[in-house]
Amino acid sequence: MTDKEFQSVIDLAKERDRKLYDWLRHLVLLASGALTVLVALHPQSPVGCWPLLCLRLAWIALGLGILLGAFALHGEVWSAGALARQVGARLSDMPSQTGATLFVGTTLPKRYERARFCCYASLIVAVCSLVIYSVIR
C-alpha cells in the first residue's frame, strides 16, 4: 500500500468517525429538546392510566437515551485519545528515518458500543410510547 492509498484510507475513517459523532450528537440534542417540551407542555388535566403510563415511559426512555447517547459520545472521544496515545508510543519506539509505515488502530470498548445500541433502543421506545400516548389519549 502506497502512502497516498494509506492516507485516503485514513481520511475515509476520519470522515466516518466525524459523521457518527455528528449523528449521535444530533440525536442527543433532539431527545433533550423533546424531553424539555414534553415536560413543559404536560397537561395538568387528569388522564387515564394507559396514556399516563405511556407518557411516563416516554419520559424515562428519552432521559435514558440522552444519558446513554452522551456516554456513547464519550466513547468517540475516548477512541480518538487512545489512538493518539498509541501513535505517540509507536513513534517514540521507532527509530527516525526508517521509512517504515506506521499502522496503528484502536478498538472501541464494548461498553461504548452497548451504550450506543441502548441509546438507539431507548429512543425507539420513546417514540413508540409517544405514538401510543397520542393515539389513546
Mean of the pLDDT values across residues 93-98? Answer: 62
Structural domain of 43: 3-136
Contacts of 106 (CB under 8 A, 6+ apart): 79, 82, 83, 86
**Confidence label for 98 from pLDDT (cuts 50, 70 and 90):** low
CA torsion 76→77→80→81, rounded to 10°?
-140
What pTM does this model have? 0.73
Q: Give pLDDT, residue 79.
A: 81
Give 31-71 pLDDT, tens digit per residue.
998 888 888 777 776 678 888 888 889 889 999 999 998 99
Question: How many domains does one find in the chain?
Answer: 1
